[in-house]
Structure 1
């Protein structure tokens, strides 16, 4: 990722996730994103690690439509942090890459660490870093939808 650090150093602690540089840059470029990408990227909960709608720790469940102009990427909650799943629909897809750490993993990239949405000549790029690889999609725009799960009924 260009701005989000998934291996920051804070004092003596290394390997810290730090979206601060990205969030600062996002405030400058968010107007260049189409409405769906802008809404998802600038949502106050997106990078708030204590929020139930923070993408950190979601698990990549499915990638549908790879190689087509419309794709869906589905992320599964974990009940200790999230009470909703996340579905992202991409339109006008012009690029798609899965870069697993281990070639035999396919789309099993482990839990999400963080993501980054940036303006691009074709619309935007959405890079999603996971513990075991990265998923990158170039598209015209995206629509993120959170849906309730069995965890939603827990207090």
Structure 2
């Protein structure tokens, strides 16, 4: 990632997630990001670690359409933090890279650390850092949709009707 630092230092504490540099850079790229990417990147909850709509701690659940121009990446909530799952639809995909820490993991990248959306000549790039690897997509635009779930007493999610 260019601006988000997954291993920043704050005072004397190291290993802190650092989206501050990216957040301060966002206004300067406002006209360069496609509308859906801009809306998702600047959502006030996106980088608020206390928010139920923060991407941190979501788990990569599925990647669909990896061989085409339209893709979907689905993330499952963490019952201790979120009450919604996240689905991101990518249009005009021109590049798709899964970079696992361990080659044997495939697309099982685990829990999201943070992400970064930047302008690209094809629209935007979306890099998602997880504990077990990185997922990067280049696309014309993206649309992020949150859908409510209910955690059962056994910690398994049950879906509710989709919401924007």
* Root-mean-square deviation (Å): 1.3
In 2, distance between residues paired with 1:43 and 1:12? 30
Determine whether 1:129 maps to 2:129. yes
Which residue of structure 1 lines up, in the alignment, with residue 71 of structure 2?
71
Local SS of the residue matching 1:31 = coil
Which residue of structure 2 lines up, in the alignment, with residue 44 of structure 1?
44
Q: Which runs of 5+ in 2 are unaligned?
A: 152-156, 159-164
Which residue of structure 2 lines up, in the alignment, with residue 149 of structure 1?
149
Runs of 4+ displaced beyond 3 Å? none
Query: TM-score by structure 1 length?
Result: 0.96
Local SS of the residue matching 1:21 = helix
Which residue of structure 1 lines up, in the alignment, with residue 16 of structure 2?
16
In 2, distance between residues paired with 1:112 and 1:22? 17
In 2, distance between residues paired with 1:89 and 1:12? 39
Which residue of structure 1 lines up, in the alignment, with residue 102 of structure 2?
102
> How far did residue 27 of structure 1 move?
1.3
> How far did residue 134 of structure 1 move?
0.2
In 1, distance between residues paired with 2:30 and 2:149? 30
In 2, distance between residues paired with 1:42 and 1:63? 24
In 2, distance between residues paired with 1:75 and 1:83? 12
Query: TM-score by structure 2 length?
Result: 0.90
Which structure dedicates a bigger proportion of its chain to helix?
A: 1
Higher relative contact order (CA 8 A, sep 6+): 1
Higher mean C-alpha deviation, range 21-30 or range 68-77: 21-30
Which residue of structure 1 lines up, in the alignment, with residue 35 of structure 2?
35
Local SS of the residue matching 2:29 = helix
Query: How many residues of Structure 1 are paired with residues of Structure 2 in the alignment?
Result: 153
Q: Which runs of 5+ in 1 are unaligned?
A: none
Contact 1:29 1:119 in 2 (8 A): yes
Local SS of the residue matching 1:37 = helix
Local SS of the residue matching 1:138 = strand
